[in-house]
Amino acid sequence: MFSALLIANRAEIACRVMRTARRLGVATVAVYSDADKDAAHVAMADKAVRLGPAPARESYLRGDLILEAAKATGAQAIHPGYGFLSENAEFAEGCARAGVTFVGPPPGAIRAMGLKDRAKALMTKAGVAVVPGYLGEDQSPKRLAQEADKIGYPVLIKAVAGGGGKGMRKVERAADFAAALDSAKREAKSAFGDDNVLIEKYVARPRHIEVQVFADNHGNAVHLFERDCSLQRRHQKVIEEAPAPGMPAEMRAAMGAAAVKAALAVGYSGAGTVEFIADASQGLKPDRFWFMEMNTRLQVEHPVTEAITGFDLVEWQLRVADGEKLPAMQTDIRIHGHAIEARLYAEDPATGFLPSIGTLERLRLPAGVRVDSGVREGDAVTPYYDPMIAKVIAHDGSRKSAAAKLAGALKQTQVAGLRTNNAFLIRALQAPDFLAGEIDTGFIERHLDALLPAREPDDDVLAAATQFLAQEHKRSADPWDARDGFRLGGVSRQAIEFVIADERVAVPIAAGAPEGIDVMRLQNGDLAAMRDGETFVLKLYDPMESAGSHGVASDRIATPMPGKIVQILVKEGERVKKGQPLAVLEAMKMEHTLAAPAEATVEAVQVVAGDQVAEGTVVVRFAKEAA
């Protein structure tokens, strides 16, 4: 085994790899950008090397700098994690030229599976069924639209170099195809440097089921069973589990065999995931699944496979990269129980899962389950990288008990300082259809109203907040800290005024605080009240602030986070309808559409395409409506 390993990634996966490396007695080297100089993975490593500024293209995507760091620190191998350079054949070749072991598949396998159109052609040749679609080289909009018409709507537009939902659009009708194609190609170009796309038939009740494969350099290849990743928002996974619910033994065998065949067809080595789409309209059947793509790297959701098999997949990666044979053969691999993983994101489900940036002023992660995280309380979630806070994984004897265990763990979780999807995850895990195994990739969209947690506090939360403020006042000798509701000419001294749903509300100070609600003051003066995994942000009424904020919510559209304006869709003087797209913002590696909140007339457009904008930048201002 090599003595020193550099991890060419950040946050959760870097920490995850380091834990296994440390157990195996391998020294670790971290790399970091300026935004990550105080990050958890930097503190955890034996050595750390600065790469450059915060943007990934100037730091984590600089293969030359990473190779220089390996040379300077004596690292004999590089683990790319997932994302960034993990599926970059040129980087793998650069490692070989530098005499450094790349912990991943050979460059040829990365190239073979890196472009979806070529990968599907290769799988067809190898006898693996693929989804019907257009994989041709003619990328003209006219030809692509014609092929979509032939396939029949709905269709999926997918970036050939894509992943993580980037460059992917579902199109329901021909009239929407041109706009969806333009958006998909633009996002693909930004994310991958390649705007070529393929067109694919959209399966009506699709289940996203993937198979973990492993191969060594001695001709051995195995699968470690399947994972179901059907619960997705914006084409990105939210909850993953292993094994797939309702999977017949015959289909499991067929899918596993197809995945191994796919790996052997490209001379694979190391960890990989073969992704299939299954038609669940009549239940899972061995003749109703098709190859979608192969991810030539470790996956975010690998912990559920580790839980049900008992193997450390990172250890397997390191041993295979070091020239060893696979630690187990197919007959040695068994399924033990059920595991479910939830991805805790800094995002707001109520605003279409827009990322939420800010400081983790409170971060309490649960005990009794596996938690993989790369952030700590006090760390910042920035606009530069994926907003995942942690992965929480529960393993138990049955799917039902694993779901209950995971939901219970998430109820122990406390996060304040930014919005998260934690309460949303709890509701998803407790949804009757989820527990019944009635899942597909449209699950979240169908059940969204039931899964979204309440945004406004109830009486118990407000009571706890008033008690917190009363106790805070008792602890302070400063009379201006008083939270007793006193206002000159105002309300009772026994009430506290909050702003709830944009309304000024006087709440009587409670005689006692309800149990199970934890309240804290945030840096900006707001309160965070936490109960059973939900966090309510409470704003105190400030007459001075209120006087200067009239019209903020109704007369303009502002950016919800820093990013780049990639498209302006309206012009001054135009009359727009509620929900009409006004502009497209690129942030956190995804495109976000800014839409009109109501019918209005555009008075001014205050940015242009290409502008880099800060959070809160006014994009469109609306004219005042006549009374």
Q: What value does the CA radius of gyration of the chain take, rounded to a whole number of Å?
A: 26
Q: Minimal CA–CA distance to 413: which of 377, 460, 359, 465?
A: 377
CB 211 within 8 A of CB 335: no
The size of the chain, in residues, is: 627
Lookup result for tokens 């996203």: 208
Give one word for 406, left, alpha or beta, with left for phi > 0 and alpha for psi -120 to 50: alpha
Q: What are phi and psi of 433, to 5 degrees?
A: -65, -35
Element (H, E) at 321: helix 313-321
Q: Minimal CA–CA distance to 606: which of 558, 552, 551?
A: 558
Q: Minimal CA–CA distance to 603: which of 576, 577, 627?
A: 576
Distance CA 103, CA 270 (A): 8
How many other β-carbons are positioned within 10 Å of the β-carbon of residue 282? 8
* C-alpha angle 448-452-455 in degrees, rounded to nearest 5: 150
Q: Do β-strands 27-33 and 47-52 pair in parallel, antiparallel, or remain unpaired?
A: parallel
Expressed in angstroms, the distance from the first to the final Cα of the chain is: 76
CA dihedral 279, 281, 286, 291 (to 10 degrees): 0
CB 233 within 8 A of CB 253: no
Distance CA 139, CA 191 (A): 18
Distance CA 112, CA 201 (A): 22
Q: Using the 8-state DSSP alphabet, how is residue 426 labeled?
A: H
* C-alpha angle 421-312-84 in degrees, rounded to nearest 5: 55
Distance CA 538, CA 528 (A): 6
Distance CA 27, CA 47 (A): 8
Distance CA 267, CA 383 (A): 38
How many other β-carbons are positioned within 10 Å of the β-carbon of residue 179? 13
Distance CA 313, CA 270 (A): 10
Burial-class residue 290 by CB neighbours within 10 Å (0-12, 13-18, 19+).
buried
Distance CA 250, CA 524 (A): 57
- Tell me which of 111, 297, 399, 419 is the catalytic residue: 297
Quick one: how far is CA 530 from the chain centroid? 23
List 87's β-bridge partners, or say none: none
Q: What are phi and psi of 377, to 5 degrees?
A: -55, 130
Prior bond of 245 cis (ω within 30°)? no
Sheet containing strand 556-558, strands side by side: 556-558, 618-622, 600-605, 575-576
Lookup result for tokens 């026994």: 494
Q: What are phi and psi of 389, to 5 degrees?
A: -90, -45
The residue type of 204 is A
Distance CA 587, CA 386 (A): 10
Q: Catalytic: 475?
A: no
Active site residues: 297
